[in-house]
Amino acid sequence: MKRVLVANRGEIALRIMRGCREAGLEVVAIHSDADSSAPHVVFADHAVLLTGENPLQVYLDVDGLVQVALDAGADAVHPGYGFLAENASFARAVEAAGLTFIGPTAATIDQMGSKTEARTLMQNAGVPVVPGYQGPVDDSGAMGAAAGEIGYPVLVKASFGGGGKGMRVVRSPEGLVEAIESAQREAKSAFGDSRVFLEKFVEGPSHVEVQILGDGEGGAIHVGERECSVQRRHQKVIEECPAAWINEETRQAICDAGVLAAKAVNYRGAGTVEFLVERNGDFYFLEMNTRLQVEHPVTECVYGRDLVRAQLHIASTGTLPFEQHELVARGHALEARIYAESPEDGFMPSIGELLRVEFPSGPGVRIDSGVREGMEISVHYDPMIAKLIVFAETRERAIEKLIVALGDTVLHGVKTNVGLLQRICRSEAFADNAVHTRWLDEEGAVLWEGVKPDLMMALAAWGASQRTSSGPSQDTGASASPMAPGIWKTIGGWKMSEGGLS
Domains recognised in the chain with CATH numbers: 3-102 (3.40.50.20), 131-200 (3.30.1490.20), 206-448 (3.30.470.20)
**How many CA atoms, within 13 angstroms, populate the side-chain half-sphere of residue 174?**
0
Answer yes or no: are the C-beta atoms of 6 and 30 closer than 8 Å. yes
pLDDT digits (tens, 9 = 90+) for 173-205: 999 999 999 999 999 888 888 889 999 999 899
- Residue 291 annotated to the active site: yes
414 residue type, one letter:
V
Q: Burial letters for 23-39: b for 16+ Cβ neighbours within 10 Å, e otherwise?
A: eebbbbbbbbebbeebb
How high is the pLDDT of residue 462? 53
Instruction: Give me the catalytic one of 15, 226, 251, 291.
Output: 291
pTM, rounded to two decimals: 0.87
pLDDT digits (tens, 9 = 90+) for 404-447: 999 999 999 999 999 999 999 999 999 999 999 999 998 877 78
How high is the pLDDT of residue 303? 98
Answer yes or no: are the C-beta atoms of 302 and 224 closer than 8 Å. yes
Give the chain's mean pLDDT: 89
Answer yes or no: are the C-beta atoms of 79 and 291 closer than 8 Å. yes
Query: Does the pLDDT at position 97 exceed 80?
Result: yes
Q: Which residue has the higher pLDDT, 394 or 455?
A: 394
